[in-house]
Copies of this chain bind each other. A is one copy, B any other.
Amino acid sequence: MTTSELVAQIQKKKSFLCIGLDVDLNKIPQHLLKEEEDPIFAFNKAIIDATHHLCVAYKPNTAFYEAYGIKGWESLEKTIKYLNEKYPEIFTIADAKRGDIGNTSTMYAKAFFEDLAFDSVTVAPYMGKDSVEPFLAFKDKHTIMLALTSNAGAFDFQTKTVDGKELYKHVLETSKTWTNAANLMYVVGATKAEYFADIRKIIPHSFLLVPGVGAQGGNLQDVCKYGMTENVGLLINSSRGIIYASSNEDFAEAAAKSAEILQQDMKAILE
Contact = CB atoms under 8 A, between A and B. Distances in A.
A153 B167 contact: no
A257 interface: no
A154 B128 contact: yes
A68 interface: yes
A22 interface: yes
A143 to B, nearest CB: 14
A226 interface: no
A243 to B, nearest CB: 14
A195 B101 CA distance: 20
A107 B167 contact: no
Given A157-B170, A162-B167, A66 B108 contact: yes
Interface stretch (A33-41, A109-117, A260-268): A109-117
A129 B67 CA distance: 21
In this complex, the interface size class of chain A, counting residues with CB under 8 Å from chain B, is 35 or more
A117 to B, nearest CB: 11
A137 to B, nearest CB: 15
Contacts of A170: 157, 160
A126 B160 contact: no
Q: How many copies of this chain?
A: 2
Given A77-B69, A111-B69, A157-B171, A64 B104 contact: yes
A187 to B, nearest CB: 10
B128 A153 contact: yes
A122 B108 CA distance: 16
Interface in A156-174: 156-158, 160-163, 167, 170-171, 174
A138 interface: no
A163 B157 CA distance: 11
Contacts of A64: 104, 107
Interface string A116-129: 10000000111111
A189 to B, nearest CB: 10
A98 interface: yes
A97 interface: yes
Given A67-B115, A68-B115, 17 more contacts: A64-B104, A64-B107, A67-B107, A67-B110, A69-B73, A69-B116, A95-B100, A97-B99, A101-B151, A101-B153, A125-B157, A128-B152, A128-B153, A131-B151, A157-B170, A160-B170, A162-B162
11 contacts: A63-B98, A63-B100, A67-B108, A67-B111, A69-B77, A70-B70, A97-B99, A102-B151, A124-B124, A130-B152, A157-B162
